[in-house]
Amino acid sequence: MRILITAGPTREPIDPVRFLSNRSTGKMGYAIATAAELRGHEVLLVSGPVNVPTPGGCHIVSVETASQMYDEVMECSKGCDAAVMVAAVADYTPRETSPQKLKKSGDQNIKLKRTKDILGSMRQIFEFDGVLVGFAADTEELRENALSKMKSKGCDFIVANDVSRKDIGFESDQNEVTVFQSDGSKDHIKKCSKQDIAEKILDKIESLLKG
């Protein structure tokens, strides 16, 4: 199986020393890449800036911004059997980036614009027809938001986790997730290592491809 995985955050530059980003460490995406590589799959990993050891045998493409990730995913998704979109891509980016460091001179008014929707582009723009897996990190109405996202983005299943909890998720080696599938079924995975969750996600992908 040829599998595309996105991981980590993006950084949206404000000036040469500042950027907008988020708390994603890339651990979940890298865990899936590691598990897939150990199963003998061909792995293309498009990664934002992280401090995580690169899985051996993976083809890794490093990016910084949401725009760069969009372009690389569009190219890398061609010919893939599955895509697992784990990256925490910025929803907004500054309209303008200052070429010089902004000085302390009172309040700054930074205007933002929407970034391109990578997951939402997979089916309609990139014409990806493989197994598509999305991730939904939220702080409220987890089920409703995950189901809405799965339907609107055309995912085969979506992995939802509550990022308001302090003991799992961002910056942790553990997580607790609920997997919602497009056939209406769901599977709750109790708190465990991200590597164990990665194995369960790959089991589902392989099952869908065999079916």
> At 42, phi and psi to the nearest 5?
-85, 125
The bridge status of strand 186-193 relative to strand 174-181 is antiparallel
**pLDDT of amino acid 6:** 98
Q: How confident is the model at residue 136 (pLDDT cuts 50, 70, 90)?
A: very high
Across the chain, mean pLDDT equals 94
Local confidence band at 76 (pLDDT 50, 70, 90 cut-offs) = very high
Q: In one letter, which amino acid is 203?
A: D
- Whole-number pLDDT of residue 89: 97
* Active site members: 22
Cα–Cα distance, 55 to 33 (Å, whole number): 7
Most confident of 28-32, 108-112, 140-144: 28-32
- Which pTM was predicted? 0.95
- For 137-180, the pLDDT digits (tens) are 888 888 999 999 999 999 999 999 988 887 876 778 999 999 99
Tell me what pLDDT residue 106 has.
79
Domains of the chain: 2-93+112-210 (3.40.50.10300)
Is 113's pLDDT higher than 90? yes
Res 172: pLDDT:
85
Instruction: Give the whole-angstrom CA distance, residue 87 versus residue 47.
Output: 7
Burial class (CB in 10 A: 0-12, 13-18, 19+), 119: buried
Burial class (CB in 10 A: 0-12, 13-18, 19+), 104: exposed
